[in-house]
Structure 1
Amino acid sequence: MNGAWIDGLHRELLRLRTPGPAWGNRSGGASYVEPTALAALALAASTPTTDADASRRAVASAADWLKDLQQVDGSLGISPDLPRPCWTTPLAILVWIATDRHHDSRRKAVDWLLAQQGTTWAPTGESPYGHDPRIAGWSWVEKTHSWLEPTAHAVLALRRAGLPSHARTRDGERLIRDRAIRTGGWNYGNSAVFGTDLQPQPAPTGLALLALSGVEDADGPIVTLGCDYLESILPTTRAPLSLCYGVLALAAWGRRPSNSDEWLAAAHDRAARSSNCIPQLAYLLLAAGTRSLELLGSPPITPESP
């Protein structure tokens, strides 16, 4: 992506901050953890050609704001007014590692994350679900069943925190493999219901592939089919969330499409007109960042020479 486009997105995100160090979902709205963490990671993943110090200061201030929001148990909620649920905690961990700040807060957040797990049960008789409910990943809400996206976020944060071999990290990777759809890709939770495969979706597929990148023995039919699905769907996809994780996942597996910059530019024109443009712009900038895979804990795979 060219420097002028990167510079423009840096300026847009800095302009759209709420009064103070954080971001909301829309200009002038209340501050939330998710858009603040996404914007901070996106700004940290690329360097603008002008006024780079302003972006660095904004990222550091966002990390400080997240630290001030951390609860006694180490978790972070949705916003200052919404202490639960705490699925945003892995995003804060990624920001603190990216900025090399608040080591104690990071440790507490990692300890909290390791202690969390979705509810499990032993299947009896014929289950209507296509996945193994005995595998404990992470859930959106405490004391509920595991879902793909919070599990993938947790795996990325734990790997970035230096715990790629921890039993909980391995549990998360196992759940992600188990939830893969037979024909390729991932849905948000199940792989099949009553014997019928669900339709894959680009955002969870991208997140799953990012979480499996760099994992020993992860390469295989699941990854190949997932990447094939993304390559087929992304050319007509303009949702920033889906493009971000889809493009980065293909990059992580050595298959970033040569025309992905054109998709991001087209998505930007639409996202800039949206009322909740802040997370959308952050996703697009993150997708274009040269350090994004590093900051997300998803090391790129070097494709083999033919």
Structure 2
Amino acid sequence: MWHNSLITQLAVSPVCGYLARDAGAAEPTAISALALAAQGQTDAARQAADWLAATQATDGSVAVRRDTDGPCWPTSLAALAWHTVDPVDFAEQIDCAVTWMLSIRGKTQPRSSEVHHDSSLVAWPWVVGTHSWIEPTALHVLALKATGYGDHPRVREAVRLLVDRQIPGGGCNYGNTGILGQTLWPHVQPTGLALWALGGETLGRGRIKASIAWLRQALCERTTCTSLAWGLLGLQAHDSHHSGTIPDGAADWIEQAQARNSAGQRSAYKAALLSLAAGAVEGRDCLTAPEVRDTSTTRGPDHAVEENVQ
């Protein structure tokens, strides 16, 4: 019942910010569209998708907020939302977003013994002109896979980066694995996002299994809303045939997290994320709405884009 109530409330104001009184922002609105579409609230999901389309710049990017020029990493989430809500009606927006995403390259540097990860791999940054990091890379991989570009060379290199950034004992930090001889601590949110993007991959299975094991023991009833949601979405991507990857009690943890959210910040963004996590625990594919599940195609590296180094 709590989930139905959450979705009903979200459908009233599908364009949302991070907190209850915030103006609409790209990431929360895209997550809202995904959550609403997954629960069959197509009209409300389209409102959110239309808002994102109105926000899209002529170069295909979607900035964090309507009144800013960047950063534009939420373009990945906007593409996911459009693909989920209606990949036909939003085909132009998706194609423009893909063109922009494939043009953005994280800044590399020569490998060094002081930095433990492979800093020569190219993926996606938070801000144009900076190094590639776990979370924006994972979001771009998810978006490009969903829209048919899973075999594109940029995506394959990004997958190698996500595997390379797994900490040897399991889990991910925000982008580094170690520095100056010190192994860094893993965190739940980037680990969940990385695992979600690595769903179905065979590369680096040993590292992925270690991260799954770490994340399963790290999640609990006290995990914060956003970390819990991203963590469970990451685990669900590796829970084929309900093999027990999702921890016992996960559904209760989500309900408890939403109760805390309702009693405190009343964040629609957190509510939408928890809705996605609840669907994932139930085994639903939250990236494709039921009525458009069979519309995706696989596209290769021939997408017409000039990959400028930025």
TM range (shorter): 0.7 to 0.9
Question: Which of 89, 92, 99 is residue 104 of structure 1 equivalent to?
Answer: 92
**CA deviation after TM superposition for structure 1 residue 140, in Å:** 0.4
Residue ranges of structure 2 left out of the alignment (5+ in a row): 240-244, 290-310
1:231 aligns with 2:224: no
Does the residue aligned with 1:98 lie in a helix, a strand or coil? Answer: helix
Does the residue aligned with 1:119 lie in a helix, a strand or coil? Answer: coil
Does the residue aligned with 2:107 lie in a helix, a strand or coil? Answer: coil
Cα 1:12–1:248 shift into 2, 3 Å: same
Task: Answer whether contact 1:252 1:293 (CA < 8 A) is retained.
Answer: no
Map of 2:162 onto structure 1: 176
Map of 1:267 onto structure 2: 257
> Map of 1:1-306 to 2, 5 A cutoff?
4-15=1-12, 17=13, 22-47=15-40, 55-100=41-86, 101-123=89-111, 126-215=112-201, 217-218=202-203, 220-254=205-239, 255-275=245-265, 277-289=267-279, 290-295=283-288
Alpha-carbon distance in structure 2 between the residues aligned to 1:12 and 1:239: 21
**CA deviation after TM superposition for structure 1 residue 26, in Å:** 2.3
Task: Answer whether contact 1:63 1:99 (CA < 8 A) is retained.
Answer: yes
What TM-score comes out, normalization by structure 2 length? 0.86
Does the residue aligned with 1:295 lie in a helix, a strand or coil? Answer: coil
Task: Answer whether contact 2:34 2:85 (CA < 8 A) is retained.
Answer: no
Does the residue aligned with 2:149 lie in a helix, a strand or coil? Answer: coil
Does the residue aligned with 2:219 lie in a helix, a strand or coil? Answer: helix
Task: Answer whether contact 1:25 1:279 (CA < 8 A) is retained.
Answer: yes
Post-superposition CA distance 1:160-199 (Å, at most 9, x none): 0101110000111011011110110101110111111111
Taking only the aligned residue pairs, the percentage that are identical comes to: 38
Alpha-carbon distance in structure 2 between the residues aligned to 1:62 and 1:293: 16
Cα 1:46–1:219 shift into 2, 3 Å: farther
What TM-score comes out, normalization by structure 1 length? 0.87
**CA deviation after TM superposition for structure 1 residue 61, in Å:** 1.0
Alpha-carbon distance in structure 2 between the residues aligned to 1:142 and 1:74: 14
**CA deviation after TM superposition for structure 1 residue 295, in Å:** 3.5
Alpha-carbon distance in structure 2 between the residues aligned to 1:283 and 1:78: 17
**Aligned pairs, how many?**
280
> Where do 4+ consecutive residues of structure 1 move more than 3 Å?
290-296
Alpha-carbon distance in structure 2 between the residues aligned to 1:14 and 1:104: 25
Map of 2:308 onto structure 1: none
Alpha-carbon distance in structure 1 between the residues aligned to 2:266 and 2:131: 29
Residue ranges of structure 1 left out of the alignment (5+ in a row): 48-54, 297-306
Alpha-carbon distance in structure 1 between the residues aligned to 2:22 and 2:230: 25
**CA deviation after TM superposition for structure 1 residue 236, in Å:** 4.4
**Which structure's relative contact order is higher, taking Cα pairs within 8 Å and 6+ residues apart?**
2
Task: Answer whether contact 2:107 2:132 (CA < 8 A) is retained.
Answer: yes
Alpha-carbon distance in structure 1 between the residues aligned to 2:137 and 2:222: 24
